[in-house]
Amino acid sequence: MAFIDDLALVEVLLLLAASVLTYVGLTGWWAMRRNDPVGLRNAIKGGAIPVGMVGGFTLALALWGEMTWPFPGSMAGYNIFFLDVMALFGIVMVAYAIGAYYSLRLQYLGILALVAGAVTIFYGYTGYTATPAFTKDPFDTLLLYLGFGVAGIAAFPASIVVDLYLAAAEGNSTFWTSVATSQSRQRLGMAARGIGAIPGSKPKASNETEEASSESMATYRVPYILQLVILAFPLFMALAGLAAGWYFAVTLPGHLGLGPAKAP
């Protein structure tokens, strides 16, 4: 069977995945900024189908390449260097799609992304320092691997924050420091001091506590430091997408047999 160089297709798949994940991350961050747990869940679940489709195709293509092309001679290790990382990325995307669709806790998927990201960075560094290099564009390849590797690492702390926020929202609590109005705090304090102990006033105190809790949740805003933890993921993923787009532009002419490529 003749060798089929599908690297350009792989690069497009990476660009597609980075675009969708960046959008999911930004819309999820915006929902948390507005204290909208429903919007956050919709953003997470909305990315399940496109990410799952891209991830499934990427994983299938990677496994096919791993089993079909144990390259001999000067190309030995070519399939390992590119397709190992591609398979890891496909696994993470498929896992995210399943977890997001069924509203599972994201931090367990974040662990996959963390480990895959660290391994990807190591692969990129090894490929960049290898002699001879695995690619004619070692620095561009290093940027590509660094972009997706750092994004994978950033996904883990972001997933923990998302899980904690959604768990708190389900319990109608804020979990972190509230920015409730002073009136709400006063009403909560009065209820806590035992207004309900007055004969005939217990139901009223209970209602006041519930109303104050609801108002606290309505006026709550996620602390800025945790917003930055969430925002780091789509920002790094956007940089990874730019690296994938750059790599695609640099390598496509050569892979199409059009001669050496020039960076745009």
pLDDT in tens, 203-236: 545 555 455 455 555 567 888 999 999 999 999 9
Q: Which of 74, 21, 72 is nearest to 234 (CA)?
A: 21
Q: Half-sphere exposure of 109 toward its Cβ, with a 13 Å CA cutoff?
A: 25
pLDDT at residue 60, rounded to an integer: 92
Average pLDDT, the chain: 80
Confidence check: pLDDT of 195 > 80: no
Burial 9-28 (b: 16+ CB within 10 A, else e): ebbbbbbbbbbbbbbbbbbb
Confidence check: pLDDT of 199 > 70: no
Structure-model confidence comparison of residues 177 and 169, the more confident one: 169
In this structure, the number of other CB atoms found within 10 A of the CB of residue 200 comes to 7
Cα distances from 129 to residues 111, 118, 134, 142, in angstroms, run 27, 17, 10, 10
Structure tokens at 215: 């108002």
Q: What is the pTM of this model?
A: 0.78
Q: What is the largest CA-CA distance in the chain?
A: 90
Residue range(s) of every CATH 1.25.40.600 domain in the chain = 7-174+224-255
Q: What is the pLDDT of residues 41-60, one digit of tens each?
A: 999 999 999 999 999 999 99
Share of the chain above pLDDT 90, in %: 49
Q: What is the pLDDT of residues 106-163, one digit of tens each?
A: 999 999 999 999 999 999 998 888 776 667 778 888 899 999 999 999 999 999 999 9
Confidence check: pLDDT of 238 > 80: yes
Query: How far is 71 from 237, CA to CA, in rounded Å?
Result: 31
Q: What is the pLDDT of residues 84-120, one digit of tens each?
A: 999 999 999 999 999 999 999 999 999 999 999 999 9
Q: Which of 143, 127, 137 is nearest to 84 (CA)?
A: 127
CATH architecture, domain 7-174+224-255: Alpha Horseshoe (1.25)
